[in-house]
Amino acid sequence: MNNQNNILSKIQSIGILILFIGVLIAPNICGYENKSNIQYEKEKPVIFPLNDDYINAYWEFNECTGDTVGDSSIPYYNGTIYGATWVGTSPDCALYFDGVDDYVDFTSHSAELGFNKTDDFIISFYFKSTGAGIIYSSTASWGFNPELIIELLSNGSLLFILKGSSNLGITLYSTDTYNDDSWHFVQYYHFGISSTPTVNLYVDGYFDNSATHYYYNQENDEYVKTKMGVHVHTSTDYFEGFIDDFKIVKYELGNKQVPPEIDGIGGQPGEQLEFTFVTNDPEGDDIWILIDWGDGTEEDWRGPYESGEEVIVSHIWDEVGIYHLTAKSMDIWDDSPWSEVFEVRIGYEEPIPKICCSGSINLSNVKPEAQLTGDFEVFNCGEDESTLNWTVSEYPIWGSDWTFTPDSGGNLTPAQGPITVNVEFIAPPDIESNFSGVIKVENIDDPSDFCEIPVFVKTPRNKMFSYNNLIIDWLLECFPQLNILLQFFIN
């Protein structure tokens, strides 16, 4: 019996030893099933939700078998597996790279996966490792300039390199280390600002680090080689570890953010007033709004709101005054400039404008059907800070082809002074006639407020007289001696 117990004890010991060795030799996938819990255990970026509307490529690694990594986006930038092995169970699988010679080749899609300098993009993925190596690389045919490298260094730091057509570019190291045999969710945000391109790094939902550096222009079709798990040009720095859910979201040539449109009216001190803010985001992203009420009130970003949503916000001003309300919007990429000032009057009656005119048009000895010109001035002679919207509403019915430049105007204040209006028209065909009338200019918002410019035109006795005068003037100009003879006969 003792011999049997000894034999059983030895068998158990050998079994445990074999199991222990197997654990050391086999790829360590313990905890793989907990990968998806990362996004719940740690807070995701609050102001950077991942937008799936512009997915460039998404390798979910859910094939679990075969030698192809399928792209679930369109037009399907699939990759070919060389050596890397599938781990996990369908559909939640990943690829294990042994750090020796495993990689996935996407070279035939390099131009489509490449980036322009002004592109806004997000690269995100899960990884797990106790080693090091290049996770993703894409370069020009000569191996650099441009180049994009994502690498896990031997000290556990993540390295991101993005260079343009010269050696200038962004180099970003993570502040924390991540080769701890745990799954990590990585997000790189690239802001394609021409003068200050910037990359932000988030890991497991926490901000890690940021880098800004100018680099020369690059075009996506300059990228011709792309691989995952190795340096695509030198075939070195093979990655050891697991990769899953690799995604590229790209806004080609950037995203121009616009400020909100503001509407509302003023009121009395202490009165709660409502204002509307509407932002139509160029890509339809969710947006946040920052408001400056013009009274020193400190505000924080509000949101998120849907693009085009009418956001109603109330505010109270305690003092009489004229306040300059402005706002800006922000999406996942950048914020807009401040909007134009929206003036809010608190405790003020709206100042009243008044239209005034000066000048007249008085023309004598006018040749019938001649082209005539004149001018007059329009100005706001109302209360300070008032604004006048005006238009030429009437002019004489005689003559033809009346034109006024300008024929209307808006938001004219007393401080701006007079506006000169140039007038052109054709004289009536009648001879030996007097014509009189007025040009009427009125306040568009109050037609009872108007001014009039007197117009008078006189044509000579007949056309021949006019022609004779022209001939005499020409003779006197060409032959000055005729002046002496003319004076002699007159005397």
Query: How would residue 334 be classed by pLDDT, with cut points 50, 70 and 90?
Result: confident
User: pLDDT at position 218, please?
Assistant: 74
* Position 62 confidence tier, pLDDT thresholds 50, 70, 90: very high
Q: What percent of the chain has pLDDT over 70?
A: 81
Per-residue model confidence (pLDDT) at position 280: 87
Tell whether the torsion through CA atoms of 35, 125, 247 and 232 is positive or negative.
negative
pLDDT computed for residue 107 by the predictor = 93
**355-460 matches 261-346 in CATH topology:** yes
Q: What is the mean pLDDT of residues 247-269?
A: 84
pLDDT at 472: 64
Instruction: For residues 218-235, give the mean pLDDT.
Output: 90
pLDDT (0 to 100) of residue 32: 46
Is the model's pLDDT at 259 over the cut of 70?
Answer: yes
More confident call, 434 vs 219? 434
If you average pLDDT over residues 149-161, what whole number do you get? 97
Fold exhibited by the domain 28-251:
Jelly Rolls (2.60.120)
Give pLDDT tens digits for 66-119.
999 999 887 789 999 999 999 998 788 999 999 999 999 999 999 999 888 778
The predicted-structure confidence for 162-194, as pLDDT tens digits, reads as follows: 987 677 889 999 999 999 999 999 999 988 877
Residue 219: which pLDDT band, with cuts at 50, 70 and 90? Answer: confident
Residue 33 reports pLDDT greater than 50: no
Average pLDDT, the chain: 84
Q: What is the pLDDT of residue 462?
A: 54
Bridge partners (DSSP) of residue 133 are 152
pLDDT confidence band for 483 (50 / 70 / 90) = low
* Predicted local confidence at residue 36, as pLDDT: 43
Lowest mean pLDDT of 145-149, 213-217, 455-459, name the range: 213-217
The whole-number pLDDT of residue 485 equals 67
Which superfamily does CATH assign the domain made up of 355-460 to?
A: Immunoglobulins (2.60.40.10)
The pTM of the full predicted model, rounded to 2 decimals, is 0.52
CA-CA distance, 32 to 397, in Å (whole number)? 90
Query: d(Cα 82, Cα 68) in Å, to the nearest integer?
Result: 9
Q: How far apart are the first and last CA of the chain?
A: 168
Q: Is 440 helix (H, G, I), strand (E, B) or coil?
A: strand
What value does the mean pLDDT take over residues 367-378? Answer: 94
pLDDT digits (tens, 9 = 90+) for 416-449: 999 999 999 999 998 888 999 999 999 999 999 9
Helical packing angle, 481-490 and 463-478, nearest 10°: 120
| Peptide bond preceding 91 in cis form (omega within 30 of 0) | yes
Place domain 261-346 in its CATH homologous superfamily. Immunoglobulins (2.60.40.10)
- All residues at 6 or more sequence positions from 61 whose CB lies less than 8 Å from its CB, including other chains: 69, 93, 94, 95, 243, 244, 245, 246
> Containing H/E element for 256?
none
Question: Which pLDDT belongs to residue 395?
Answer: 96
DSSP β-ladder status, 361-363 and 446-458: parallel
The share of the chain scoring above pLDDT 90, in percent, equals: 59
- Please state the rounded mean pLDDT for residues 320-334: 87
Q: How confident is the model at residue 47 (pLDDT cuts 50, 70, 90)?
A: very low
Phi and psi angles of residue 431, each rounded to the nearest 5 degrees, phi first = -105, 160
Domain ranges of the chain: 28-251, 261-346, 355-460, 464-491
Q: How confident is the model at residue 46 (pLDDT cuts 50, 70, 90)?
A: very low
Tell me the pLDDT band of 488, cut-offs 50, 70 and 90: low
- Residue 271: pLDDT over 90: yes
